[in-house]
Structure 1
Amino acid sequence: MSDSKNTKGPIAGERKLRVRVKTAKKKTVSQVRWLERQLNDPYVAAAKREGYRSRSAYKLLEIDDKFHFLKPGARVVDLGAAPGGWCQVSVTRTHALDGRGAKQGRVIGVDMGNMAELPGCTVMKLDFLEEGADDRIKEVLGGEADIVLSDMAAHATGHKQTDHLKIMALCEAAVDFAVDVLSEGGTFCAKVLRGGTENELLTLLKRHFQSVRHVKPKASRADSAEMYVLAQGFRRQSEDEE
């Protein structure tokens, strides 16, 4: 994997002949469309070329290039981490593998499913919603987290409104987890969907963070409703404030 500070990604102005799937044998129309999109996606090609496990790595790279929260020495928890693209970016930018002392970061990838081991990252097969999961993660992390990431998406049903509600509920659960594990001044970054229920999430985040904004990186497909919420400056509230 190349150094993420010098990652080229898709080359601007690069021309490529469009690949079409010639046969739809044993494939549905939606499967053919998905395959064609993957074959013609410059971020998919860049991820293969540069050694990232997923094209979504470029979303985190773009967000961090602009807001600079993945600092050397930071402690990171990535929820729903598989296959590990965001963990790869976090390991490199926090110097979890090659840092020394206070400049060596710590990255934990949490997922209910299996995720291949990654140098510089501790992989935990765990449901972060389980009782006591936050304490287990803090124990492995060696304290509170500086950053909680979530690129999770609930399994799609095909019903737009239902899928929207599911992913927003998942994001709200990630916020609750972040409130339990983040250190003062910490950062939360998670995938959300446009669709009409964002206000409740923003209200929740503004109670706990100094700055809350939406971000749409270029690597996020233009025709997708997905975007990212970035909340910075975590404030631990007293029991009276809660």
Structure 2
Amino acid sequence: MSRGGSGGRTRVKTSRGRTPQSNRWLERQLNDPYVRRAKAEGYRSRAAYKLIELNERFGFLKNTKRVVDLGIAPGGWTQVVQKLVKNASIVGIDLLPVDPIEGVTIFELDFMDDSAPHLLSEALGGAPDLVLSDMAANTVGHPQTDHLRTMGLVEAAVDFACDVLRPGGGFVAKVLAGGADDTLVATLKRNFTSVKHAKPPASRKESSEWYVVAQGFKGRVERVEEQVPVG
């Protein structure tokens, strides 16, 4: 399947069963130090190191006891939480099937389903200290549409976090194209004492993904509906 290249780089041989794009992806995986490290350290994906690096910078896992993992598949972020936070209660949800993780409640369900927020809160048994979201919409090949679909998930995750977090809690989510838009940032700043954007080293340079880290949840902010005069 592969052979050694210059400088020890693994090169993938062409195959009738793979497209050039598949070959490039496979070659990148074989030569990615984070992929090799994840395999050696028992993490299910290289994404685990994105969370590790973000936590090293922002420390949001400190004093965390209850965690919700949105878009949990394949489970790398939850593995990090379990390793760094002993006896943490964790619930997760994803459209994709996820191999069981001992001690973790996992729902195979669309987070946008009306029943999802209640199921997650009920399974956790108390207000979470941290809501994580690595959700991204399935791409359709149209950049603007893909961006809007993913940011729609982020907005839903923010709404959920603001409904369920305990005061002082945190929210970490994947966003795209340099960060959250102005409206979303304004919502986060209204609800959290600190809102930062970051691109951890484990996030590939060519990737458009960034992460937003919101800390110090202020508690539920009452939403005042605008009264429209009748008549």
Query: Structure 1 length as normaliser, TM-score?
Result: 0.84
1:141 and 2:124 matched: yes
Question: What residue in structure 1 maps to residue 32 of structure 2?
Answer: 41
Match of 1:201 among 166, 184, 190: 184
Aligned-pair identity in percent equals: 54
Q: Are 1:91 and 1:120, in contact at CA under 8 Å, matched by a contact in 2?
A: no
Which has the higher mean CA deviation after the structures are superposed, 156-165 or 46-55?
Answer: 156-165
SS of aligned partner of 1:91: helix
Question: What residue in structure 1 maps to residue 170 of structure 2?
Answer: 187
Matches within 5 A, 1:206-217: 206-217=189-200
CA distance 1:16–1:191, shift in 2 (3 Å): farther
CA distance 1:196–1:89, shift in 2 (3 Å): closer
Matches within 5 A, 1:66-145: 66-71=57-62, 73-96=64-87, 105-145=88-128
Matches within 5 A, 1:149-188: 149-188=132-171
Q: Are 2:94 and 2:108, in contact at CA under 8 Å, matched by a contact in 1?
A: yes
How far the C-alpha of 1:123 sits from its partner, in A, is 1.6
Q: Are 2:198 and 2:210, in contact at CA under 8 Å, matched by a contact in 1?
A: yes
Please give the per-residue CA displacement for 1:138-193, whole angstroms capped at 9, x wherever unaligned.
Answer: 22111111100011111112222221122111111111111121111110001011
Unaligned runs of 5+ in 1: 1-14, 97-104
Matches within 5 A, 1:215-230: 215-230=198-213
How far the C-alpha of 1:41 sits from its partner, in A, is 0.6
Equivalent AA in structure 2 for residue 32 of structure 1: N
1:29 and 2:20 matched: yes
Question: What residue in structure 2 maps to residue 7 of structure 1?
Answer: none
- CA radius of gyration, larger in: 2
Task: Report the Cα distance in structure 1 between the residues aligned to 2:63 and 2:105, rounded to whole angstroms.
Answer: 17
Unaligned runs of 5+ in 2: 1-5, 226-231
Task: Report the Cα distance in structure 1 between the residues aligned to 2:98 and 2:179, rounded to whole angstroms.
Answer: 33
Task: Report the Cα distance in structure 2 between the residues aligned to 1:57 and 1:152, rounded to whole angstroms.
Answer: 14
SS of aligned partner of 1:227: strand
Q: Size of the alignment, in residue pairs?
A: 220
Please give the per-residue CA displacement for 1:27-85, whole angstroms capped at 9, x wherever unaligned.
Answer: 22221111111111110010001000000000000011111111355200000101100
How far the C-alpha of 1:26 sits from its partner, in A, is 2.5
Taking only aligned residues, the RMSD between alpha carbons, in angstroms, comes to 2.0
Equivalent AA in structure 2 for residue 26 of structure 1: G
Task: Report the Cα distance in structure 1 between the residues aligned to 2:199 and 2:74, rounded to whole angstroms.
Answer: 22
Match of 1:234 among 214, 217, 224: 217
Task: Report the Cα distance in structure 2 between the residues aligned to 1:66 and 1:37, rounded to whole angstroms.
Answer: 27
